[in-house]
């Protein structure tokens, strides 16, 4: 790693660790909504859980990144990235909680179908109990099926955010990308040699991404804080990282919400 990369790694790590410490100091701040943004208990519960999970995972991920164990850290970074973006989406999308719950129910229903086909009697016996816990789909114009939809609904996340998530997924699953980390070119007959330890990805780049997820997760909660207790701190951290602290709904998402409100008024008359 070059000295420049080393400096970037240290700076991003320091920003991230400061954000984690600040989260634990202020996470009990009352959240009541603002004049511009009304919140409900469901939004608060979902956004808080996702944001808290980002801060829970980020510490171990940073420890691994700082040690140069990047490949071990990336599945944690992926989870932080997905949870932070989802928290932003749920807070800003009027019917985002309903879509979030619907997707969870869909996934659980698929799990039930898999359990019913299992060879293990224990698994098959568990299926009816899970089935009874499932609720009917909630009414919503939004969809949380596929992380790409959430990225597309947020600016400036969009395709760039989904591309980042796809790369993190390649490092998190059994993939050719992972296999390549354990191979190296060799002048022998096969042209390859096996590595016992991986060729680690760039720590600085992924530490910066991890720090960004802490900004976005923190800002999701700040949206619901009447006093915006951490807004200035989160903006400073975003400036240090060269990112925007505030993700906003895209034009198409805003248009969808407006149409949903208009349809609801029409049906109410």
* pLDDT values of the chain reduced to their tens digit, one per residue, 269 residues: 334 567 999 999 999 999 999 999 876 655 555 556 667 888 899 999 999 999 999 999 999 999 999 999 999 999 999 999 999 999 999 888 999 999 999 999 999 999 999 999 999 999 999 999 998 888 887 788 889 999 999 999 999 999 999 999 999 999 999 999 999 988 888 889 999 999 999 999 999 999 999 999 999 999 888 888 899 999 999 999 999 998 999 999 998 888 877 877 777 76
H or E stretch covering 153: helix 147-153
H or E stretch covering 189: none
d(CA 5, CA 1): 6
Choose among 51, 71, 140: nearest CA to 101. Answer: 140
d(CA 213, CA 85): 8
DSSP string, 154-188: EETTHHHHHHHHHHHHHHHSS-HHHHHTTEEE-SS
Domain boundaries, the chain: 3-95+145-268, 97-140
DSSP string, 76-102: HHHHHHHHHHHHHHHHHSTTHHHHHHH
């Amino acid at each position: 790693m070059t000295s420049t990369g080393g400096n970037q790694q240290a700076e991003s790590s320091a920003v991230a660790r400061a954000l984690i410490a600040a989260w634990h100091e202020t996470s009990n701040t009352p959240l009541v909504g603002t004049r511009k943004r009304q919140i409900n208990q469901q939004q608060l519960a979902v956004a808080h859980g996702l944001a808290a999970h980002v801060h829970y995972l980020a510490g171990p991920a940073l420890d691994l990144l700082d040690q140069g164990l990047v490949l071990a850290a990336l599945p944690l970074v992926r989870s932080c990235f997905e949870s932070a973006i989802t928290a932003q989406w749920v807070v800003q999308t009027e019917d985002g909680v309903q879509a979030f719950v619907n997707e969870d129910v869909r996934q659980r229903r698929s799990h039930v179908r898999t359990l019913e086909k299992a060879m293990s009697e224990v698994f098959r016996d568990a299926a009816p109990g899970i089935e009874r816990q499932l609720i009917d789909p909630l009414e919503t114009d939004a969809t949380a099926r596929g992380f790409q939809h959430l990225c597309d609904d947020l600016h400036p996340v969009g395709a760039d955010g989904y591309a980042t998530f796809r790369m993190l997924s390649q490092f998190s699953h059994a993939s050719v990308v992972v296999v390549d980390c354990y191979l190296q070119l060799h002048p022998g007959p096969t042209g390859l040699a096996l590595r016992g330890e991986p060729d680690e990805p760039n720590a600085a780049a992924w530490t910066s991404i991890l720090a960004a997820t802490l900004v976005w997760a923190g800002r999701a909660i700040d949206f619901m804080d009447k006093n915006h207790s951490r807004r200035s701190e989160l903006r400073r951290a975003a400036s240090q990282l060269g990112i925007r602290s505030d993700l906003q709904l895209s034009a198409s998402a805003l248009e969808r919400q407006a149409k949903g409100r208009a349809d609801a008024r029409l049906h109410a008359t």
